[in-house]
Every structure is written in C-alpha cells, then in structure tokens.
Amino acid sequence: MITPESNSASSANCEQKGRLKTSQSFTEQWDRMKLLCVVLCGGRSSRMGTDKAELIHPTGKTFLHHAVDRAKEVSQDVYLSGYARPGATCPTIVDPVAFRGPATGIAAAVARAADEHFAGCLVTPVDMPNLTSKHLMRLRQEWLKSPGELIVAMSAEDGQLQPLVAIYPAGFADSLRALAESERRGLVSWFSTRPHRIFELSAIDCQNINTRADHETNQTSIYRAADAD
C-alpha cells in the first residue's frame, strides 16, 4: 500500500539523487576545465647577466615568487618550467633539451597537462613583472567561453602577439611537440597558421625585463605594485 508518507519519502529520495547527480556532473565539468599553470623560467638570462628569476620585484619578492603567487590565484596546480632550482616551492617540468627556447618548455608543459587530464596549460614568463593575477583570471574567463581554442595575449598598442602569455589546450600537445623538435621553433609563426583568439593587454602589462637597463632605469615607469591595475 502506498501512503502519502511513502510518496513523500520517495520524492525526497529522488530529489536527493538528482542533487547528487547534478553535483557530480558539475564536479566532472569543472575537472574537465582545470588548467595547469606553468611559470616559464628556463632561459639563460644572458642579456641580464644574472638569473632574472632572482631579480627583486617592487613588492619585495623575487620575480619568481611574484610569478608563482599570481599563478596560484588561477590554479592550485602550478609548475615551473626549465631546470631544477634548489629550494623551489613548486614542482618543475624539466626541459627535455636545455636552452632551446620557450617552445621546448611549453611543449613539455602541455604534454604534462594532457597526460594528467588537464583541459589545458596556462603559461606565463618569469620576466613580466607587471602581469598580475587579475590579468590571468580574466584570461581564464575568456578561455572558458571556448576552451578548445588557443587564446594568446597581444599588446594592444602595437598588435604584437605574446605567446608566453597564453592558454594552450591539451589537444595541441602533439603539434607543439613537433614544433619543439623542429629547427624553426618560433611560436608567433606557429600561431599565425592556426585559429586563435586574442586577449589584449597594454604594452606596460606585457613588458619583458631583459637587461640591467630595463631593471635599473624603468622601475617607476614600467613596474607596478603587484595585483594593481
């Protein structure tokens, strides 16, 4: 005999299962949108004459510390790319061949993202001190509108692509591996042959610090306090 109480209990049970299914579905969808964040810091720093990762940011942190902190605002999964650093607080994806340019590090990072079932890889360079977590969060939000597509930063003033500030979906792992193993490893050229979306930044936000002159004479005109727009 079916009583009103049993009907009520059955309905409540169905609602609970429905909520659980919805919750699981949301969790699965969220997991599929997870990004591996990677700080590119494997260069020689030859023009600087010292490791750029150890330069002091206006916040008092090192460039590397600043870059890791801004990445952690976007993802709990943050790696360094390049070579093993003593005392590093993040795991490192070691370049398979040292000093072969950023395409090598990016290819290895995207391959790791694909192997570990991340949706993609957000990369940023260690030597871009004005880039903030707010910029990266906006980049991620733009990527979420079409997560299967490449999205790359561009300097709004001169239209120059910034392929070291980009999100590379995991599906591009094989293409990037082929690029890294080739003799022509230019990322701008690689982007030019593939559909991609643009994320605009001001020239000052995507300013690289490459020389001592950049570091010593442009502290007030180039650097900003961390996470300030």
Pair (11, 54) in one structural domain: no
Residue 223 falls within a domain, yes or no? no
* Any domain includes 194: yes
Supply the mean pLDDT for the chain: 82
Query: Is residue 102 located within the same domain as residue 22?
Result: no
Q: Are 57 and 129 in contact (CB under 8 A)?
A: yes
Per-residue pLDDT at 9: 47
What does the pLDDT look like over 209-227, one tens digit per residue? 866 666 665 565 544 444 4
pLDDT in tens, 146-168: 999 999 999 999 999 999 999 99
Each residue of 22-72: pLDDT tens digit? 344 434 454 568 999 999 997 655 455 567 888 888 888 999 999 999 999
Residue 80 assigned to a binding site: no
Same-domain check for residues 49 and 132: yes
95 labelled binding-site residue:
yes
123, β-bridge pairs: 38, 166
The annotation status of 115 as a binding-site residue, yes or no, is no
- Same domain for 79 and 4: no
Please say whether the beta carbons of 66 and 129 come within 8 A.
yes
Do 62 and 7 share a structural domain?
Answer: no
Q: Do both 91 and 120 map to the same domain?
A: yes
Domain around 18: 1-32
40 annotated among ligand-binding-site residues: yes
Residue 127, annotated as binding a ligand: yes
Q: Which amino acid type is present at position 137?
A: M
Q: Identify how many contiguous H helices and E strands the chain contains and give both numbers.
A: 7, 7
